[in-house]
Structure 1
Amino acid sequence: MRIMVRTLRGDRVALDVDGAAKTVAQAKGVVMARERVPVAMQRLFFAGCHL
């Protein structure tokens, strides 16, 4: 599965999670590993809803 992430700077990053991220917490771990953004500072949204 591919997740599109938009940073606060407006950059868009594509992350492939391939079933490794089954929960929001695991998806945030993938973002942390790739973008070096601590999990506590991340906010994930889908269709305008906070996850």
Structure 2
Amino acid sequence: MREVCEELASRLEETVLGLQLDNRELTMDRAYAEEEHLARILIAAAWYQVNYRNS
């Protein structure tokens, strides 16, 4: 489970950096697919956090 969590964290970091969420020169609008991908990763990360805390 730890390996999967590390892979998930890596993909989350890669996605956030790729979307340049901290770049204020870009518009806030994102493509639906980009937002959906980010949302799915965040949901999975939240699920792993809950399972890690409540073993």
More helix by share: 2
Normalized against structure 1, the TM-score is what?
0.30
More strand by share: 1
Normalized against structure 2, the TM-score is what?
0.28
